[in-house]
Structure 1
Amino acid sequence: MDYYMITGASKGLGAALVEKLVNKDHVLYYISRTRNQSLHTLAKERNSTLRYKQCDLSDIEEAQHVCNQIFTEIDAKEVDSLTFINNAGMVNPIKHIGRILTEEMIANVQLNLLTPMLLTDLFIKKTSDWKVDKTIVNITSGAANRPVSGWSTYCSTKAGLNMFTQTAGVEQLEKESEVKVIGFSPGIMDTQMQSTIREATSEDFSSIDQFKDYHEKGLLRSSEYVADILLELLSKEVENGRIYDLREFL
């Protein structure tokens, strides 16, 4: 059986990935604050195993506890492959430095950077002796590569996640039972994050008109389209430590 663990999968790209993956040959765990009942209905129709774990992924202790619990439920002898997709993320706070509340910055860093770092570490520890195909995908952003006014925390956490992913990939090349660790930048999607961006003020986010144009002109890609491209990528041999960009596949 092919096993999947996906964070932030109650909506957006995470939910689209679950929708694409539910079938009788897969066992899926999705980890998020809310349950998406339509995903369970679909899984039942397709005779697929879908398990929900409630978790506030910005709480790093809770995130580690939940993932540890998942590993106690998985029988390694039944696993042909295991894929972990760190998808959960947040763009807030959309504010200039000097206007950000301490708790806002901490929450962003914990969810966007610390949680995927810690869960990557946990995954590698727990599967160190599993002789199966193992892959971790960290969902990143083009904002990791350039400064965007108002996104200081978001840009910084995604840049940090890219370097962590690249370093983990280099290390895994030295291991006998390696885990493939890659990043994937999905570009601009029509998700709740984009709605959040469009609700920002021009004082905090000078590029707001550009993002409103993306929406009004229909330039935002659907989560389903992006999910198809990511899953097509994962069906092939990937390069350990590489940060893939959706634009490579257009």
Structure 2
Amino acid sequence: MNYYIITGTSRGLGEAIALRLMEPGNHLFCISRNESSKLTELAGRSGASVEHIPFDLTNGAAISGMMASIFDRIDHAAAKSIVLINNAGTVTPIAPIERCADDEIIANIAINLTAPIVLASAFIDLAQSIQADKRIINISSGAGKKPYFGWSSYCSAKAGLDLFTRCTALEQEEKAFPVRAISFAPGIIDTEMQAQIRATNVDNFKDLERFISFKEEGMLLSPEEVAHYVLRLLESDYSGGEIVDIKQLQ
């Protein structure tokens, strides 16, 4: 059995990844506040086992317990692979930092950085004795490599996620049954996040016109297209610690 733990599956890229993984022999744990109607609809017909785990990733203190309950439902002896895909993210708040509310800054870092770190920590701890192919894919962003006006929290969180991936790989180098972690920047995807960005006031986001042109000129990737590349990564033999941009795969 192949086990996949995926965050942010109610829509967008997370939903598209889960849909592509719906095959016999796969068991999906879909973590999101809301359940995807598409996943629910197709679960019974796909031959895959799908469980929705209702959870708010800003509740960092409860993540380890939630992961422990997931691993209680994994057959360690029968597991061929166990994969964690840290996909959930938020771009809010979009504004110069002095205009950002404290609670929005805290939620941004919690969802984009703290939750993936705590999820990975629990995953590595709970899976360390399991002799299976074990991987973590952290969905990052090109925004982790360059500054954007109005995205200070988002850029900082994604930069932190990339470096965390490299640290994790370093720590796993001498393990008997290592977890291989990589960070993947998926490009600009046609999701609700992009719609939110385009609705921002230009005073809060100086690149507004550029992002509007991405949509108008058909430059956005579909979630389904990007999910295809995520599956390609799962099939590749990376060593761990790589920071991969989708442009390297196209």
TM-score by length of 1: 0.98
Which residue number in structure 2 is paired with residue 177 of structure 1?
177
1:73 counterpart SS class: coil
Which residue number in structure 2 is paired with residue 79 of structure 1?
79
Which residue number in structure 1 is paired with residue 52 of structure 2?
52
1:84 counterpart SS class: strand
Q: What percent identity do the matched residue pairs reach?
A: 39
2:188 alignment partner AA: I
- Within a 5 Å distance, the mapping from 1:94-133 to structure 2 comes to 94-133=94-133
Structure 2 CA distance for aligned equivalents of residues 118 and 4 of structure 1: 17
Structure 1 CA distance for aligned equivalents of residues 37 and 64 of structure 2: 24
Structure 1 CA distance for aligned equivalents of residues 148 and 238 of structure 2: 30
The runs of at least 4 aligned residues of structure 1 exceeding 3 Å deviation read: none
2:66 counterpart SS class: helix
Structure 2 CA distance for aligned equivalents of residues 93 and 239 of structure 1: 35
- Residue 23 of structure 1 and its aligned partner are, at CA, apart by 1.1
- Residue 249 of structure 1 and its aligned partner are, at CA, apart by 1.2
- Within a 5 Å distance, the mapping from 1:5-154 to structure 2 comes to 5-154=5-154
1:138 counterpart SS class: strand
- Alignment check: 8 A CA contact 1:56 1:63 kept: no
* Stretches of structure 1 lacking an aligned partner (at least 5 in a row): none
- Residue 244 of structure 1 and its aligned partner are, at CA, apart by 0.7
- Residue 176 of structure 1 and its aligned partner are, at CA, apart by 1.1
Structure 2 CA distance for aligned equivalents of residues 46 and 117 of structure 1: 31
- Residue 64 of structure 1 and its aligned partner are, at CA, apart by 2.9
1:28 alignment partner AA: L
* Stretches of structure 2 lacking an aligned partner (at least 5 in a row): none
1:77 counterpart SS class: coil
Structure 1 CA distance for aligned equivalents of residues 114 and 55 of structure 2: 15
Which residue number in structure 2 is paired with residue 247 of structure 1?
247
Structure 2 CA distance for aligned equivalents of residues 47 and 127 of structure 1: 25
Which residue number in structure 1 is paired with residue 158 of structure 2?
158
- Residue 220 of structure 1 and its aligned partner are, at CA, apart by 0.3
Structure 2 CA distance for aligned equivalents of residues 93 and 38 of structure 1: 29
Cα distance per residue 1:9-52 (max 9 Å; x no partner): 11111100111010111001100010012212212112210000
1:9 alignment partner AA: T
- Alignment check: 8 A CA contact 1:144 1:157 kept: yes
- Residue 63 of structure 1 and its aligned partner are, at CA, apart by 2.9
Q: Which deviates further from its counterpart, 57-66 or 232-241? A: 57-66
2:30 alignment partner AA: Y
Which residue number in structure 2 is paired with residue 168 of structure 1?
168
Cα RMSD of the aligned pairs, angstroms, is 0.9
TM-score by length of 2: 0.98
Structure 2 CA distance for aligned equivalents of residues 87 and 19 of structure 1: 14
Structure 1 CA distance for aligned equivalents of residues 87 and 124 of structure 2: 18
- Residue 155 of structure 1 and its aligned partner are, at CA, apart by 0.3
Cα distance per residue 1:154-174 (max 9 Å; x no partner): 000000010000110111112
Which residue number in structure 1 is paired with residue 189 of structure 2?
189
